Structures are given as structure tokens and as C-alpha cells.
Structure 1
């Protein structure tokens, strides 16, 4: 099995609904996102998927969230809390279909990890 991982970053604000504590107040993070792909076969160039292509897949999602209050953006504007856990699933879902199409199903998203701080992260996988 082969794996490749890329990292992206963005800065955004958020607050948690139905939460008692400091995080119920608006605050910001410098997020780091790691997306790992997995597959059994390499392409004719000896790559699972070009890092450049995976970064291109992430770019619109990162741009959508960067320097915004995440609570103001769908799907986080109603009841879905912009927790690190939900952001990890959001990146997973946004990446999965594109990677499947780009690789004709040869490559899949293994997991997405979102760091809120240097020492705290959430990961989503299926």
C-alpha cells in the first residue's frame, strides 16, 4: 500500500455552539490540514498522485475558509459546529470525490487531520 500526505494552512475564526467555556466566544486559529491518500498502484510516472494535484484539490476549500468566521459559512452557519472534528470531515468529503475522479478510483482519501493548535488535532477517516 502507498500513502502520500500534503499539508495546507489557513487562519479563521469560529465559536462553538452548545458549549460552556472559553470556546463559546469568538476566537481564531491558525489551522493546519493534512490530507493522506492511499492506494495499491502507482501511475505510469511512479506516483500515487502528484502532490501538486492534491494541493490544487485542497486550494478551493482552504480559500473558502481562510480569513473568515467559519460560523458564517455553510454548512457551519446553522447547527453544524465548526469544531476540529467537523472540519476534518468537511475536508475529507470535499477531497474524496475529486481524488476518486482524478485517479479513476485508483486512489482514495485515507484520512484528514485538522490541527487547531500545535498540540491539538482531530482526524476523520472511514
Structure 2
């Protein structure tokens, strides 16, 4: 049976700041992110299976990405926990804001690596993460490919 790639797209709003950066992105700001998730596998051949002919049900993929990424990052602010931004993060948390502390600089490049790990760990047997595309602006994005990370 052929391997087929399935892609589902997601959108979410997230704020961040890049500590130590020499441009405007050192300031707290936000993006309307678009995430494209592509998995690869063979369609189910068991005619008695309700998912017959599918690599993965789009709703199953949606559930994984929604729980691991969208529900956590949407309308959150992401800071690197190893920088002085921790003080701002704690103040925002104390005021009821949704803050995510990560151990990396929250660039699109690092976020897409984090997202890949989160999604890979949840995929069913026989389904592999093929690629992710995290679009930060209309003209700027980071991509992660499994084949580049063997």
C-alpha cells in the first residue's frame, strides 16, 4: 500500500518576547500563527474498520494538535524561563494572565521543534510526523521535516 501524506491546518494567537535580541522583537508582541501539520502513513485496508481508507481521521489529528498546541498556546505569552523575563512572567501570572515558560528562546524555529516533539509523542502506531510549518507572519515561517532530523 502507498504512503500518503495528510495535512491539517490550525490557527492561534500567541505573544512572546525575545530576550537579548537587537531588534523590535525584544519587546512583548504577538502573532497570529498558522500551523500546518503533515503526517504520513498507509490508509487502513481493513474493510470492517470504520476508518477504512484513511491514514488518520482528520478529527483525530485535530484532537492531538488542539490538545498539545492550540489549547495551550492560544492567547498565551511565551517567555524563556532562563532570562530576566521570568520576573515579567511571574507578574503577569499573578495578574491572571496565561504565561508559558520554556527553556528556549521562543522563536518560530525553536517553537516548531517543540511542537514536533509534542505531536510525535501522541501519534498512533503506524503514523509518523512528516513535517510542520509554523507561519509567524504572512511572509515568514519556520519548517520542520522529519527527514532533516534523523
Above 0.5 in TM-score? yes
Partner of 2:76, secondary structure, is: coil
Structure 2 unmatched ranges of 5 or more: 47-51, 80-98
1:94 aligns with 2:118: yes
Higher relative contact order (CA 8 A, sep 6+): 1
**What is the CA–CA distance in structure 2 between the aligned matches of 1:118 and 1:48, rounded to whole Å?**
30
**Could you list the per-position Cα deviations for residues 60-82 of structure 1 after superposition, in whole angstroms to 9, with x for gaps in the alignment?**
221111111111413x2xx4111
Equivalent residue number for residue 81 of structure 1: 105
Partner of 1:73, secondary structure, is: strand
1:52 aligns with 2:59: yes
**What is the CA–CA distance in structure 2 between the aligned matches of 1:34 and 1:88, rounded to whole Å?**
10
Report how many aligned residue pairs link the two structures.
Answer: 118
Equivalent residue number for residue 84 of structure 2: none
Task: Give the number of the structure whose alpha-carbon radius of gyration is greater.
Answer: 2
Matches within 5 A, 1:1-126: 1-39=3-41, 41-43=42-44, 44=46, 45-60=52-67, 61-71=69-79, 72-74=99-101, 76=102, 79-99=103-123, 102=124, 104=125, 106-125=126-145, 126=149
User: Please, what TM-score do these two structures have when normalized by structure 2?
Assistant: 0.74
Structure 1 unmatched ranges of 5 or more: none
Alpha-carbon RMSD across the aligned residues, in angstroms, is 1.2
**What is the CA–CA distance in structure 2 between the aligned matches of 1:122 and 1:21, rounded to whole Å?**
19
**What is the CA–CA distance in structure 1 between the aligned matches of 2:122 and 2:15, rounded to whole Å?**
27
**What is the CA–CA distance in structure 1 between the aligned matches of 2:72 and 2:121, rounded to whole Å?**
18
